[in-house]
Amino acid sequence: MTNNIIKKSKNKSDKQKRLEKKQEEENKLKKQEDIKNIVENIENLIESYKDNNEEVYLYHYSTKPFKELYTIEKQISLGINNDKYKKLSDKFDWDKYSYIKHISLFIDPIPLDLVRKHFTNNKTYQENDYLYEHKIKLSDIKSILMYYMLVENKVDNFYYNYIFNIDMISDDLYANSKRKINELLGNHGEDYNKLRKLILDNKGVTKEAFEKLVNSDKFGDKQKGMYAPSVPHLFIYPKDGIIKVDSVKKVYFDKDNTPLTESVGDSKFYHISFKDILEGVWNPKNPDGYGINIDEYKASGIAEPNLPRISVSTSIEKCFQAIYPNISKLFEEKNYPYMEFYVYTPILKGNEKIISSEELVSKRMVHDAHMTDEYIILNPVYMKKIYKIKIYNTNKNTFLYHHPFNDNKITKIGFAPDNIKYDIIKEY
């Protein structure tokens, strides 16, 4: 009898041990799962932080270059184009949503070759053999009275059955109807952060929308004279009637309507090199090291084309970020406190063939041009040496990541340090 009790007690103890072991394993797995979730949450927060701090750009096109964009109402108050806009002012003088109080912006660079070819009745697109592309930082638009965004691709049934019959309705009814339907979709408001999210949610759809429009059987003479029917774009109503322009580019069109771009006004292009004896005429060539591991890059989908060129950028900082992957070991492994470079700038005559950063990205030519603001010059050009600089090791600061070709469907990859600091040692 006693032996049986001892045996049962022992069995019970073994069972208890098994239960405790099982519980311990479950707790361990749960702990691992909790840690995994915490790590994922941290990674999501980091990605969210990066996305929330990434600069957002908007675009405006005109036949003249401007350092600031004015609403029609602001132009009238300044005595600019009074005769031109007086009738328009009377025609559209509604409430705070009045046409004369807004500035229209695209959320992506527009496909200029397509626009030039198909919008044959539009004066802005066809008046000259060039256009001016104005680039605007969203962060510079702080005094927003309100905004609304024409996201027509989300209401195709409305626009493709309504917009193409606008001759039958009045201008104010047409414009107010567009505003109302976009209000219902949530594409309207006064909150800056909501505006930012709305823009980011619709980035990358502009070219596809233009292609859909020009290939529609309803794209006729009326639409060929319009600005961007059924293409998503943004109406900004600034409180002071002014939007600051970050940079301007003059876009020439050749006989095939291919856009060729140059900087305008105070904008400059830069190129940095370790070498100090390069001033003179440069001939386009493939970058140093081109062809090394080319099969690997082709497999990754980010290989650059075999196209002789002179690569430049719009700032010294972006020049350094562009070459950082090639020299990162000097900062990351050898811990150099700084590097010294010579800065060159092209002396442009105005007839150079230049491909813009937007074209390099949209045509899948340079995967990080949207980050480096790289331009490529396809002609021989005189490069003048202007500075000797010292760029400091800021590798411990925030490191940037990006989607190749600005395509959210492609996983982000490492790019370069965010905060680039340099001093000019000598001017030439």
Distance CA 191, CA 132 (A): 30
Q: Is residue 87 a part of any domain in this protein?
A: yes
Q: Are residues 163 and 207 in the same domain?
A: yes
Q: Are residues 64 and 203 in the same domain?
A: yes
- Domain final residue pick, 239, 260, 281: 260
Q: Are residues 109 and 217 in the same domain?
A: yes
Q: Are residues 418 and 316 in the same domain?
A: yes
152: closest CA among 185, 194, 125?
Answer: 185
Q: Is residue 12 a part of any domain in this protein?
A: no
pLDDT of residue 11: 55
Per the CB < 8 A criterion, the answer to whether 182 and 235 are in contact is no
Residue 2 has pLDDT above 90, yes or no: no
Q: Is residue 45 a part of any domain in this protein?
A: no
Q: Is residue 29 a part of any domain in this protein?
A: no
pLDDT of residue 313: 93
Q: Is residue 370 a part of any domain in this protein?
A: yes
- Domain final residue pick, 227, 260, 293: 260
pLDDT of residue 84: 56
What's the mean pLDDT when you consider all of the chain?
A: 77
Report, as an integer, the average pLDDT of 297-325: 81
Residue type, 13: S
Q: Are residues 385 and 277 in the same domain?
A: yes
Q: How many domains does the chain have?
A: 2
Report, as an integer, the average pLDDT of 177-203: 76
Q: Are residues 220 and 138 in the same domain?
A: yes
Q: What is the pTM of this model?
A: 0.52
Q: Is residue 40 a part of any domain in this protein?
A: no
Which CATH number do you get for residue 304?
A: 3.20.170
Distance CA 278, CA 271 (A): 11
- Domain final residue pick, 206, 241, 260: 260
The sign one gets for the Cα dihedral 301, 363, 404, 317 is: positive
Residue 50 has pLDDT above 50, yes or no: no
Q: Are residues 279 and 256 in the same domain?
A: no
Q: Are residues 234 and 326 in the same domain?
A: no
Q: Is residue 33 a part of any domain in this protein?
A: no
Q: Are residues 320 and 395 in the same domain?
A: yes
Distance CA 64, CA 106 (A): 17
User: What would the two tokens of residue 175 be?
Assistant: 């414009």
Q: Are residues 67 and 94 in the same domain?
A: yes
Q: Are residues 278 and 406 in the same domain?
A: yes
Report, as an integer, the average pLDDT of 35-58: 63
Instruction: Give the N- to C-terminal CA distance of the chain in Å, as an integer.
Output: 105
Per-residue confidence at 255, pLDDT binned at 50, 70, 90?
Answer: low
Per residue, the 3-state secondary structure of the chain, as one string, reads CHHHHHHHHHHHHHHHHHHHHHHHHHHHHHHHHHHHHHHHHHHHHHHHHHHHHCCCEEEEEECCCCCEEECHHHHHHCCCCHHHHHHHHHHCCCCCCCHHHCEEEECCCCCHHHHHHHCCCCHHHHCCCEEEEEEEEHHHCCCEEEEEEECHHHCHHHHHHHHHHHHHCCHHHHHHHHHHHHHHCCCEECCHHHHHHHHHHHCCCHHHHHHHHHCCCCCCHHHHCCCCCCCCEEEEEECCCEEECCEEEEEEECCCCCEEEEECCCCCCEEEECCCCCCEEECCECCCCCCCCHHHHHHHCCCCCCCCEEEEECCHHHHHHHHHHHHHHHHHCCCCCEEEEEEEEEECCCCCCEECHHHHHHCCCCCCHHHHCEEEECCCEEEEEEEEEEEECCCCCCEEEECHHHCCCCCCEEEEECCCCEEEEEEC
Q: Can you give the residue range of the structural domain that contains 224?
A: 57-260
Q: Is residue 51 a part of any domain in this protein?
A: no
146 CB contacts (<8 Å, ≥6 apart)?
96, 97, 188, 189, 190, 237
Q: Are residues 406 and 372 in the same domain?
A: yes
User: What would the two tokens of residue 353 be?
Assistant: 């063939």
User: Comparing 172-186, 231-245, 301-315, which segment has the lowest mean pLDDT?
Assistant: 172-186
State pLDDT tens for residues 314-348.
889 999 999 998 899 999 999 999 999 999 999 87
pLDDT of residue 60: 93
